[in-house]
Structure 1
Amino acid sequence: MLKDLWLVGIGTGSPAHMTLEGMQALRDASVILLPLKGDDKEALAALRYGIINATGTQAKIVTFDYPLRDPSLPYGPRVTTWHDEIARRWSAALATVEVAGPVALLVWGDPSLYDSTLRIAERLDPRPTIHVVPGITAIQALTAAHAIPLNTVNGPVKITTGRQLRDHGWPEGEETLVVLLDGACSFRALDPAGLKIWWGAYLGSAEQILCAGKLAEVADEITARRGEARAQHGWIMDTYLLRRDHQLGD
């Protein structure tokens, strides 16, 4: 029976992003759950295997196929149904092996920031004790790669999604936005006047791509490079920071 579930943040895919605590959690695990997301994303599984192998763990690796979202459903029910199915597949996969100790699940970035693994874990019945090992976030990796601070002096930062940016535009009164989960280059829906962008994909990896500048000047370049990279690798993980600079003109 699953009693202890460890959600281990693995950063943005670089083995160097693993913390000592995260590596120890994988060594102590009895079972490691590993999602498979289709033939076009074999590199994602390979990155996870690389991290697991680097720890020297003796845990059993149990795989499960990641479900697709049902595009016919409205967004809210679509996500809820998807999370329910993922939790069911976790349970089904674990039922195939003897669970003699903790179970670990590798989570991109940090399980406690813009990730639904915690919400999925709460659906398990019986509910295990959930432990979280924080990892390097995409936000940290992005600002470090560009060598910029997250905020201006005494300035607030809003973390949001591409969907929110598309549906509602620039939030009133905000100076700095960090945008995650944006597969549609939603920055293109904004008036670019006075905005700067710092964008990055595959952060921390050998395939890392960076682009920064006035939004009006680099929006097309980012869109093109994102499309090319996704076609080449079969997947992409990217994020960006937008900042309003009142000293910028059109």
Structure 2
Amino acid sequence: MTARLHVLGMGMGPQHVTPEVANALRSCDYVLALAKRPDDELVAVRQEVCAAHGVPLVVLDDPERDRSPGLDRAAYEGAVADWYAARLAVYRQAIEERGGVAGMLVWGDPSLYDGTLRVVTDLGLPYQVWPGISAPQVLAARHRIVLHEVGRPVHVTPARRLREAVAAGQENLVVMLTAGVDLDGLDDWTIWWGANLGGVGERLVGGRVGDVADDIAAARAAAKAEAGWVMDLFLLRRGGQA
């Protein structure tokens, strides 16, 4: 019998697992997860989810990626491609050995800035997808706001393209995949920021950028110190009022 895959959005952990995802998770024979190190805190959260629903977690070693300093663009892209191929091989071997229904737990929702569906597609196996609670949803709930003004759009972007989006005229942005917050020159914009939303180390800051930029940096450091990791995002709006 051909193995099958379930891709399951888990939000930030057990507290965000919807009844629909829980039912699908319980139908899995096992869940696969890649660990960067033996004490990987992000794998530990997946373990909590699996334990809550009686499904074994199979932890695989995440292949190393060449992170040599000074790589030019071609070398960097080659290193990423090699790393992706190695990850694919690790998943494929595990599934071939075990068969059955394999689950993959995805932070937030599989549709938003996550590469799991690309991996699953390349594995060439039948699969289904269950949505999870996304970080922008939790951000809006925690700050008690709507992500857009009446009848207006919201632009979702990774942080590395924030400046490009602002230069193009975007005035209401959800910014994800941050590695810190570079808000120079945006002092009069309003920000609603959050880290580790719904999980250990949750922090919130909101206000005029020029007034709260230092608070955000401090809160981000505190979130990482408490949890051992940090995932943050923010809504940024020209003008506005937090």
Fold-level similarity (TM above 0.5): yes
- Asked if structure 2 preserves the Cα contact closer than 8 Å seen for 1:84 and 1:123, the reply is no
CA drift at 1:180:
0.7
Structure 2 residue runs of 5 or longer lacking an equivalent are none
Residue of structure 2 equivalent to 1:103: 102
- Asked if structure 2 preserves the Cα contact closer than 8 Å seen for 1:12 and 1:203, the reply is yes
Deviations 1:8-55 (A, max 9, x none): 000022x121111111111111221022122453x3222111111111
1:64 to 55, 60, 63: 60
SS in 1 for 2:34: strand
2:155 maps to amino acid = K
CA drift at 1:78:
4.5
1:170 to 151, 161, 166: 166
- Asked if structure 2 preserves the Cα contact closer than 8 Å seen for 1:12 and 1:141, the reply is no
C-alpha spacing 1:211/1:44, structure 2 compared with 1 (3 Å)? same
Query: What is the alpha-carbon distance in structure 1 between the residues aligned to residue 165 and residue 65 of structure 2?
Result: 26
- Asked if structure 2 preserves the Cα contact closer than 8 Å seen for 1:2 and 1:102, the reply is no
Matched, 1:198 2:192: yes
Using the aligned pairs only, state the percent identity. 40
SS in 2 for 1:7: strand
2:24 maps to amino acid = A
C-alpha spacing 1:85/1:73, structure 2 compared with 1 (3 Å)? farther
Deviations 1:82-123 (A, max 9, x none): 32222111113334x432x21101110111111111112222
Query: What is the alpha-carbon distance in structure 1 between the residues aligned to residue 72 and residue 47 of structure 2?
Result: 34
CA drift at 1:171:
4.0
1:136 maps to amino acid = I
Deviations 1:183-238 (A, max 9, x none): 1323x2x4124301111111012431111110111111111221233244331111
Query: What is the alpha-carbon distance in structure 1 between the residues aligned to residue 216 and residue 30 of structure 2?
Result: 40
Matched, 1:180 2:141: no
Query: What is the alpha-carbon distance in structure 2 between the residues aligned to residue 175 and residue 2 of structure 1?
Result: 48
- Asked if structure 1 preserves the Cα contact closer than 8 Å seen for 2:155 and 2:173, the reply is yes
Aligned pair count?
237
Superposition map of 1:137-152 within 5 A: 137-152=134-149
SS in 2 for 1:135: coil
Query: Which aligned runs of 4 or more in structure 1 are off by greater than 6 angstroms?
Result: none
User: Which moved further from structure 2: 168-177 or 142-151?
Assistant: 168-177
TM (norm. structure 1) is: 0.86
SS in 2 for 1:141: helix
Residue of structure 2 equivalent to 1:83: 84
C-alpha spacing 1:69/1:154, structure 2 compared with 1 (3 Å)? farther
Residue of structure 2 equivalent to 1:27: 26
2:54 maps to amino acid = G
C-alpha spacing 1:224/1:2, structure 2 compared with 1 (3 Å)? farther
SS in 2 for 1:50: helix
2:19 maps to amino acid = L
Query: What is the alpha-carbon distance in structure 2 between the residues aligned to residue 152 and residue 77 of structure 1?
Result: 42
- Asked if structure 2 preserves the Cα contact closer than 8 Å seen for 1:84 and 1:120, the reply is no
Query: What is the alpha-carbon distance in structure 2 between the residues aligned to residue 2 and residue 184 of structure 1?
Result: 43
C-alpha spacing 1:199/1:40, structure 2 compared with 1 (3 Å)? farther
2:134 maps to amino acid = T
Matched, 1:136 2:133: yes
